Amino acid sequence: MAAEQKFTPQTWPESPEQATLEGKNKFLGFWFFLGGETVLFASLFATYLALKDSVPSDTHAKASDLFELPLVFLMTMLLLTSSLTSVFAIYHMKNYSFKKMQQWLFITVVLGLGFLACEIYEFYHYYHEFEHKFTSSAFGSAFYTLVGFHGGHVVFGLSWIIALMVRNAKRGLNLYNAPKFYLASLYWHFIDVVWVFIFTVVYLMGMVG
């Protein structure tokens, strides 16, 4: 089967993710999917901006009461770094060095888990310290939906990368799984880009007022 053909670093194609028709289709289809995801997040951002600080009474916490830069900065650093490490992983994928790719993917996953832990702590903190809940105000609903959708994407992306690492641990790279690794990393970048906007629109603009 052509897809399971063995390669050496010399025979490995330059863009293995697009070397087969299936890979080409996946590559293009996934970009389109990300286009749709962009609209999805744009809609969530619009909702958040419309409902920001929209609370039933003054006893509810507002954005400027909630957010603190140090934690969010840490989360941003974790996620941005994880995006960089996934670039390294794909660099090694393109050079047919499977082990190095797996190592960098492992670091990516660890950083992603770190981000997720911070986010869980953050939500827990808002919930208990500020009574800022999904069901307490429209602001709360919009905040947890936007940031939570992003968090859900992080969970899905981590599960995806882990599944690929485990599944292919013993057989190395071929033209069948190269597109899969590539797309998982593309997805991870997208999550990162969305976070940049969340950091700006939700947190920075929230703290300014």
Binding site for another protein (CB under 8 A): 1, 3-4, 21, 24-25, 28-29, 32-33, 35-37, 39-40, 43-44, 47, 50-51, 54-56, 134-142, 145, 160, 163-164, 167, 176, 180
Q: Give the alpha-carbon dihedral of 120, 141, 47, 198, to 10 degrees.
A: -10
Rounded CA-CA distance 148/162 in Å is 21
**Overall size of the chain counted in residues:** 209
Minimum distance of another protein from residue 81's CB (angstroms) = 26
* Minimum CB distance to another protein smaller for 118 or for 138: 138
* Minimum CB distance to another protein smaller for 21 or for 208: 21
* Minimum CB distance to another protein smaller for 40 or for 120: 40
Minimum distance of another protein from residue 149's CB (angstroms) = 8
Contact partners, residue 113, CB within 8 Å, separation at least 6: 158
Minimum distance of another protein from residue 97's CB (angstroms) = 22
Minimum distance of another protein from residue 74's CB (angstroms) = 28
* Minimum CB distance to another protein smaller for 49 or for 77: 49
Ordered alpha helix ranges (H), the chain: 21-51, 63-66, 69-94, 98-130, 138-168, 178-197, 205-208
Q: Contact, 20 vs 192, CB < 8 A? A: no
Rounded CA-CA distance 44/67 in Å is 19
151 alpha-carbon distance from chain centroid: 8
Minimum distance of another protein from residue 197's CB (angstroms) = 15
Minimum distance of another protein from residue 139's CB (angstroms) = 6
End-to-end CA distance of the chain: 60
* Minimum CB distance to another protein smaller for 78 or for 157: 157
* Minimum CB distance to another protein smaller for 93 or for 146: 146
Number of neighbouring beta carbons within 10 Å of residue 71: 15
